[in-house]
């Protein structure tokens, strides 16, 4: 029984990291910030609604995916290779804010819907 729970947790963490990687790649390819924030909010909301008790963990997984995408993408010309890690850490830290907001909103929405269903 514990392995199923652990497998589910790992699957959702990997899904969060994949969502974060998509948002990070979108951030690197696009000049617009609103689409990246929307991806982060929506993915956080989805994961927070699916497993509300682990909402902060999903936000961290999403931020880790953003960091991973920044580290995997080749360094553009004119950018010092030493600047990639600090820039990725800053992007992950900034991405954590909308991801956490979305995850907490998803968790609150599920709990509110459950309470309304009981009335």
Question: What pLDDT digit, counting tens, does each position of 36-66 carry?
Answer: 999 999 999 999 999 999 999 999 999 999 9
Is 8 contained in some domain?
Answer: no
pLDDT along the chain (119 residues), means of 10: 73 96 93 92 96 94 96 83 87 96 96 85
Is 110 contained in some domain?
Answer: yes
What is 30-74 written as a DSSP string? -S-SHHHHHHHHHHHHHHHHHSGGGHHHHHHHHHHHHHHHHHHSP
User: Domains in the chain: how many in total?
Assistant: 1
Tokens of 62: 């999403």
Is 65 contained in some domain?
Answer: yes
Instruction: State how far the Cα of 92 lies from the Cα of 44, in Å rounded to an integer.
Output: 14
Question: How many other CB atoms are there within 10 angstroms of residue 91's CB atom?
Answer: 20
Is 1 contained in some domain?
Answer: no
Is 89 contained in some domain?
Answer: yes
């Amino acid at each position: 029984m514990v392995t199923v729970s652990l497998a589910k947790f790992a699957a959702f963490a990997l899904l969060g990291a994949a969502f974060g990687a998509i948002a990070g790649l979108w951030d690197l390819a696009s000049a617009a910030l609103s689409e990246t924030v929307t991806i982060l909010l929506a993915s956080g909301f989805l994961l927070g609604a699916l497993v509300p008790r682990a909402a902060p963990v999903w936000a961290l997984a999403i931020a880790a995916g953003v960091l991973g995408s920044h580290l995997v993408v080749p360094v553009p010309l004119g950018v010092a290779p030493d600047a990639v890690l600090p820039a990725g850490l800053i992007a992950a830290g900034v991405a954590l804010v909308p991801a956490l907001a979305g995850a907490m909103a998803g968790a609150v929405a599920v709990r509110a819907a459950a309470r309304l269903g009981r009335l």
